[in-house]
């Protein structure tokens, strides 16, 4: 059973992030499932740290983007999602290609949501795991 409470499709989600850090970093939404959202970020000059590795903060941006977008579409029309807490465990570096994140809800409540975001490199190896807690704000 789908978790989405609003109509959701890839072109709409991607367009909603134009002109933001998401588009500046080259993040692309790639798949929407019944209970997950997936996006990827390139490992390139925009996203690497000085030692040539994907910057850990970029992994966190990918995670917060996926969890926040997921939370918005998993809530009724008019509700807003704001991040309360995020953590990230960096497990493996990435020097090239893409890192793909998959976000799934752990908890969808009325006032809070918790999302798990797993990120993998092009070989499918886990690079980072993140958990995002979101406050849900009612329409005013």
Extended strands (E) in the chain: 28-32, 37-42, 80-90, 98-108, 112-120, 126-137
SS (H, E, C) 64-95: HHHHHHHHHHCCCCCCEEEEEEEEEEECCCCC
Would you call 64 a catalytic residue per the annotation? Answer: yes
Maximum CA extent, the chain: 46
Q: CA of 94: how far to CAs of 3, 35, 105, 134, in Å? A: 31, 27, 25, 27
Q: What are the tokens at 87?
A: 């953590």
Which candidate in 28, 34, 64, 125 is catalytic? 64
Would you name the residues annotated as active-site residues?
Answer: 64
């Amino acid at each position: 059973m789908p978790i989405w409470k609003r109509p959701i499709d890839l072109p709409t989600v991607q367009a909603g992030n134009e002109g933001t850090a998401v588009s500046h970093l080259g993040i692309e939404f790639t798949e929407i499932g019944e209970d997950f959202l997936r996006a990827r970020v390139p490992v390139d000059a925009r996203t690497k740290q000085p030692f040539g590795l994907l910057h850990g903060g970029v992994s966190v941006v990918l995670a917060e983007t996926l969890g926040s977008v997921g939370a918005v579409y998993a809530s009724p029309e008019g509700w807003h999602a704001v991040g309360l807490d995020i953590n990230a465990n960096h497990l493996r570096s990435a020097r090239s290609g893409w890192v793909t994140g998959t976000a799934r809800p752990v908890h969808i409540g009325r006032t809070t949501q918790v999302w798990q975001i797993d990120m993998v490199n092009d070989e499918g190896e886990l690079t980072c795991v993140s958990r995002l807690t979101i406050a849900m704000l009612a329409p005013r």
